[in-house]
Amino acid sequence: MKTLLRTSVAIALLVVVGTSLAACTTRPATGGATGSSATGTSASGTATGSTGPTGSITVFAAASLQRTFTELGEQYERRHPGTTVTFSFAGSSDLVSQIRNGAPADVFASADEATMAKLATTDLATGWPRDFATNTLEIAVAPGNPEQVADLRDLTASDLQVVTCAAPVPCGAATAEVERAAGVELRPVSEEQSVTDVLGKVESGQADAGLVYVTDVEGSGGKVEGVPFAESSEAVNTYPIGVLKESANPVTAASFAAFVRSDAGREVLTDAGFGAP
C-alpha cells in the first residue's frame, strides 16, 4: 500500500513539472519585443516602428530642378512637422561624382536616366530609382529676340555668341541629340557644367543664345525668351529619383521621394513646364 502511494505522488509531481515547463516554452521572456509592437532606433534617431517621417535629409538634385524642388521641400516640411529637407543643386554628373566620393546624401534626382545609371545598383535602396518628370530643350534668347533666332540652324551663324551645356551633363547630351536630328554642328563660345549656368550667360548678356530646358525659360521670370524648335522632340529627358542605400534617414528619404511623385508633386512640376514620364 505504501509503495502504491509513493508511486501516485511521484506521478502527480511529474505532471505538475511537465505542465510548468510547457508553459515556459510558450510564454515570451519578460521585457522582450514581440510581433508588431517591437520598436527600435535607427542611426538617424528615427524609431524603426514609427509610422511617420521625421528628422533631416539632404537631397542632391539636378540644377534644372532648383525652383520646383525648393517649393516641394517647403510643402513637404509643412505636411510633415519635424522634418527638414536640405538641397544641393548642380549638374547631375557633378552630383554623381560627389556621391561616389562619399558626400552625405539621402536622395538623388537626375536630369536623365543615363546619369542615374552611373550609380551602381548597390548605391541605391531596393525599388529605386523611379521616373517622375520629363523635359525638352528650347533656345533661350534675350527678351524681344533681337538676333531674330527662329530655329536651331540659326545658331550656326558665325556672328552669334552661343552657349551650351558640356557633353557629360544631361542637357549637353540632349544638345548633341538635337544637333544630330537637325544635321547641324554648333560651335559654342563656352560649354557649361549646368543648365543654370547656360541660362545665366544669356540673362546677363554674355551670350546671344543658349540651349536650355523649357522649364528654365518658364522659370526665368521674363529675363529670357524661349524659341521652340522641331528637333527638341528627338531628345526628351526623363528625370528619375532614387533613395541612396547609405542614407542616414531612409524612412524620410523614401517619403520625400514618394511625395515628389505624388499628385501634389506632379502639380508643382506641371506648373513649371515639366511633362509626365
pLDDT in tens, 86-106: 999 999 999 999 999 999 999
On whether residue 35 sits in a domain, the answer given is no
pLDDT score at 21? 35
**Do 113 and 159 reside in the same domain of the chain?**
no
- Could you tell me if residue 66 is inside a domain? yes
The CA radius of gyration of the chain, in Å to the nearest whole number, is 29
- C-alpha–C-alpha distance, residues 135 and 149, integer Å: 21
> Could you tell me if residue 224 is inside a domain?
yes
How much is the pLDDT for 177?
Answer: 97
pLDDT for the residue numbered 111? 98
Long-range Cβ contacts of 195-200 (<8 Å, 24+ apart): 195/63, 195/64, 195/91, 195/111, 195/165, 195/169, 195/171, 196/63, 196/64, 196/66, 196/89, 197/63, 198/140, 198/163, 198/164, 198/165, 198/171, 199/140, 199/224
Number of Cβ atoms within 10 Å of the Cβ of 136: 21
Whether 247 is covered by a domain: the verdict is yes
Query: For residue 20, what pLDDT is reported?
Result: 39
Q: Tell the residue number behind the cell numbers 529637407, with chain if given.
A: 85
The tens-digit pLDDT sequence of the chain (277 residues) is 333 333 343 333 333 334 333 333 333 333 333 222 233 333 333 334 456 899 999 999 999 999 999 999 999 999 999 999 999 999 999 999 999 999 999 999 999 999 999 998 889 999 999 999 999 999 999 999 999 999 999 999 999 999 999 999 999 999 999 999 999 999 999 999 999 999 999 999 999 999 999 999 999 999 999 999 999 999 999 999 999 999 999 999 999 999 999 999 999 999 999 999 9
What CATH number is given to the structural domain containing 79? 3.40.190.10
What does the alpha-carbon distance between residue 108 and residue 45 come to, in Å, rounded to a whole number? 22
Mean pLDDT across the chain, nearest whole number?
A: 86
pLDDT in tens, 230-263: 999 999 999 999 999 999 999 999 999 999 999 9
163 and 219 inside one domain = yes
First to last CA, the chain: 91
In a domain? residue 211 = yes
Structurally, how many domains does the chain consist of?
2
26 in a structural domain: no
Q: Can you give the residue range of the structural domain that contains 98? A: 55-134+239-271
Say if residue 105 is in the same domain as residue 228. Answer: no
Coil/strand/helix, residue 89? strand
Residue 249 · residue 57 · CB < 8 Å: yes
Same domain (yes/no): 227, 252 = no
Q: What's 275's DSSP letter?
A: B
